[in-house]
Structure 1
Amino acid sequence: MYITITAQKVEGNYAQSAADFVDYLEKENEGKSIEEVEHFFDQHKDEISAEEVIKEIDGNTAKLKKKEPKFYSITLNPSARELKAVQDSPEALKHYTREAMKDYAKAFNREIDGRPVTVDDIKYYAKVERQRTFKGNDRQIMENQPYATKILQLKQEIRSVERGESIGNIKKLQREIQRLEKEAPHQLNGKRIVRGMYKPGPQSHIHIIMSRKDASNRYSLSPGSKYKASEVEMNGKMVKRGFDRDTFIKNAEKTFDGMFGYKRNYVESYKARKTFLNDPKLYFSTITKLPTNERAVAFRLLQKSGVNTALLSIPTNKIQLTIKAINALKKGIGKAIESGSIGV
């Protein structure tokens, strides 16, 4: 499960309405029949309209300054294995989202009217999306890039010849383009994979938009707080503050595993991701020391993500990876993490 939390941000300025973001989330519904449309939902209601979402988020911004974010967003990105565990069911993902938002509320070190924050204090709206497109940080796009660059150069040459600015054999240049299109390493339905192309297989994920203010429009609940858990004196009173992002993500992961009986492999875990970022050698060493069956699964998951696991095939008692090998593994695993392809 790859979970991201981001603040509202549009070209360096905070928009005064959630309309653009909500419209972006509605794009997948374009051209669909009424039965196929995916609606917004919250903790208790289904089939909420985009208009209501905009109205509720925009109307819940009391005392927020123009330079403060009005809302935040969470994206829950299940891996292919996790989607298989829930049979890619939108209803199962909705159920999970509602449980994960309870974990989100618990991660706040805040009190409202003398009690801890609960999910009913969070004004949020969520939506299951069923498709994903290839982006620039996907391995397939990056590995196809040298071919894309050369193809673009050849097309520019053809245009130059057509305008009479240079001399060249257009048919020969076109044949070279065709050759490069076929030789690009990553293809889908006989075509070179490019940005914006829909990814194959189950791609369901959940977008969540949360108001910066609580449901009563009195208190600010910011998951972007730099404080995990602390107290500060305000108006003569000690007030709790902070949000623990690590706790939220760890608990959301545990919630998924508990709900669906999911057997999470080490390389899929948030703990593994943190270890990789902070201590790559420990990350690699831990993988090689996993029980045989778990290690085999870990290797398969990494290989599917394009990581060269041959560099990990070293006897555990001789795990002296060279700097070159470490860097090669870091590069491969880093790309997999960025694209969410191993769900960590």
Structure 2
Amino acid sequence: MYIAISKQQQGDNFNGSVRDFVNYLDKENEAKHPDLQESFFDQYHDHISTEEVIAQIDANTAKLNKKDSKFYSMVVSPSQGELKAIKNDPDKLRQYVRALMADYAASFHRNKRIEVDAIKYYAIIEKERTFKGTDKEIRENQPYATKILKLKKDLRAIENGASKGPIKHLEKEIERLEREAPHKINGKRIVRGMNKEGMQNHVHIIVSHKDASNTSKLSPLSQHKGAETILNGKTIKQGFNRDAFFRAAEKTFDTTFGYKRNFVETYQARNVLDKDPKRFLAMLAGLPTSEKQAAFKLLFKAGVKLPTMPTNKVQLAYKALMKLKRGVESAISSGSIGV
């Protein structure tokens, strides 16, 4: 399960409305029949209109200044394995998001436990994902793309009379490179922005910075994990425990849907990889045989190559580990594996 949290994106000034972001999230509905469109939902209601989302988030900003984000964006991207476990069912994804937001509320460090009803949020399911530069398919197609781009530039120059050369030869060379590019969909070379095949359901969530009562700030990007401060002679708890949230999000999915999570899909694995790639590799090697085989299969499908570690060349070993780390991170960000 890949979860990313970010603040409202408007530079240093956050006075703007949520309208543009809501309209952006509603983009998949534009060309669809009303019966096939996805609506926003919250903890208790489906079929919430874009105008209601905009009105509710924009109004829930009491005492926020121009340097305060008015809302946060959360993206919840299940892996292919997780989507398969729920049969790519939007209703089960909504069920999961509602349980997830209870975990989100509980991860705030406050004097009194924060319940999910204190969180004002709106979510929408998107059914398409596009290829990004970090995806294996784009990276491995890139040498071909670079050559094709240059050849097309040369071809235009000849056609415009700015240069001379064999047009048919260039056209045949472009055709050859298109044919030999390793990754295609329906015979077409995969490029950035092309829709991915298979199950791609994921969720975008807009979360208000203020709680549902419009009185307290709740920031998931707080620098404090579980701090305490003195205010008017009273000890006040503050902060948001992102580690606890990500672990809970994983556990909630597994227990709700009976998902058997492999080591390389766990938040623990991602943490170890970030801090100590060599230990990650050692833990991977120490898994029981069946789980290790499943882990290797997941990594292989995601395009991650496991290094052979030299025993007497420290620098080569370090470079191999960093290559492994970059490969896994790319697979994570593209949703290939659910770490």
Deviation larger for 79-88 or 3-12: 3-12
Partners of 1:214 and 1:86 lie apart in 2 by: 31
- 1:14 positional shift: 2.9
Match of 1:107 in 2: 107
Counterpart of 2:215 in structure 1 is: 218
Identity among equivalent pairs (%): 55
Q: Does 1:18 align with 2:13?
A: no
Displacement, 1:324?
Answer: 4.2
Q: Unpaired runs of 5+ in structure 1?
A: none
1:271-305 Cα offsets, whole Å, 9 max, x none, are 00010000000100001100011001000000001
Provide, for residues 238-294 of structure 1, a one-character-per-residue CA deviation record: whole Å limited to 9, x for no partner: 221100001001001000000001100000001000100000001000011000110
Give unmatched runs, 5+ long, in structure 2.
none
Indicate conservation of the 8 Å contact 1:227/1:243, yes or no.
yes
Instruction: State whether residues 308 and 332 of structure 1, in contact with CA within 8 Å, keep that contact through their aligned partners in structure 2.
Output: yes
Q: Which residue of 1 aligns with 2:60?
A: 60
1:32-51, Cα deviation, whole Å (9 max, x unpaired): 11111111100011110111
Name whichever of 283-292 and 232-241 sits farther off: 232-241
For 1:24, the aligned partner's letter is Y
* Among candidates 143, 154, 166, match of residue 169 of structure 1: 166
Number of the residue aligned with 1:332: 327
Question: Which residue in the other structure is 1:145 paired with?
Answer: 142
- TM-superposed CA distance for 1:15, in Å, is 5.1
Q: Which amino acid counterpart does residue 269 of structure 1 have in structure 2?
A: T
- Alpha-carbon separation, structure 2, partners of 1:245 and 1:323: 29
TM-score (norm 1): 0.94
Other-structure match for 1:208: 205
Q: How far has the Cα of 1:173 moved from its partner?
A: 1.0
Q: Corresponding residue for 2:43? A: 43
User: What is the deviation of 1:69?
Assistant: 0.8
Q: Does 1:2 align with 2:5?
A: no
- Give the letter aligned to residue 177 of structure 2: L
Shift of 1:326: 2.1
Q: Normalising by structure 2, what TM-score?
A: 0.95
Q: 2:34 — aligned with what?
A: 34
The residue type equivalent to 1:159 in the other structure is R
2:240 to 240, 243, 249: 243
The 3-state SS of whatever aligns with 1:309 is: coil
- Residues 177-213 of structure 1: CA deviation (Å, up to 9, x unaligned): 1111111111111010011111000001111100000
1:13 offset after TM fit, Å?
4.3
Q: Which amino acid aligns with 1:16?
A: G
Question: Which one of the candidate residues 109, 112, 116 is aligned to 2:113?
Answer: 116
- What SS is found at the alignment partner of 2:225? coil
Letter in 1 for 2:331: A
- SS of the aligned residue for 2:196 comes to coil
Aligned to 1:88: 88
Alignment of 1:309 onto 2:306:
yes
Q: For residues 16 and 324 of structure 1, what CA distance do their matches in structure 2 show?
A: 45
Alpha-carbon separation, structure 2, partners of 1:125 and 1:225:
21
Question: Is the partner of 2:154 in helix, strand or coil?
Answer: helix
Aligned length: 337
Q: Could you tell me how far apart the structure 1 residues matched to 2:223 and 2:22 are?
A: 27
What's the counterpart of residue 318 of structure 2? 323
Cα deviation 1:313-333 (Å, max 9, x = unaligned): x9xx99x99334323322322
> Match for 1:329: what amino acid?
L
Letter in 1 for 2:253: F
Distance in 1 (CA, whole Å) between partners of 2:122 and 2:178 is: 42
The alpha carbon displacement at 1:174 in A equals 1.2
1:77·1:205 contact (CA, 8 Å) conserved in 2? yes
Note if 1:279 corresponds to 2:276: yes
Structure 1 contact 9–15 (Cα < 8 Å) conserved: no
Q: CA RMSD in A?
A: 1.8
